[in-house]
Amino acid sequence: MRARTRRRHPAPVLERLVPVPGAPGPRGPVDDLVGCDPGGAPVRVALGAGAVRTLLLFLSTGCDGCRPFWPAAEGDPVALGLGAGDRVVVVARDPGREDGAMLARLAGTGCVVMSSAAWDRHRVSGPPFYVLVGPVGQGVVTEGVAVAVAQVAEDVRRATEAG
């Protein structure tokens, strides 16, 4: 009997597939986040010049990996590596792709913006994902796949200290 040999394929280059911490998207001004709240009311979150540091958490109601991020998004921003004056914004896809009532329940008092355009602009292919936008028009500071709350907090702290 002849042994079967297994063909080896080279490992994919992840930088092309998923942005990684320390390799943020394009620098420069970031457009304000525009969409609606879970109830359908228009929302605009300032991210440009004069805005505070903002952690955008791209989450979905149907995402099991997103579960630990819902309470973190509603709670103290310091738990996610931010300063006391910084903010966390959950970004979900547009109505019709997400259940607004469920988003409202999951997010509690946290800020939620439904905006598929933001997912496209930040090249988010799936949740959970995060993008840290710096203050005073600094642009994207870091971004990446959100694996765990502690990992995101450490990535945010590291990027904030470096920048």
The reported pTM is 0.81
**What gap in Å lies between CA 75 and CA 86, rounded to an integer?**
12
Within the chain, which residues score under 50 in pLDDT?
5-26
**What gap in Å lies between CA 90 and CA 108, rounded to an integer?**
11
82: left (phi over 0), alpha (psi -120 to 50) or beta: beta
Q: Which amino acid is at 4?
A: R
Q: Any idea where the domains of the chain sit in the sequence?
A: 29-162
**Strand 139-145 and strand 129-134: pairing?**
antiparallel
Pick the CATH number of 29-162 from 2.70.70.10, 3.40.30.10, 3.30.470.20, 3.40.50.1010: 3.40.30.10
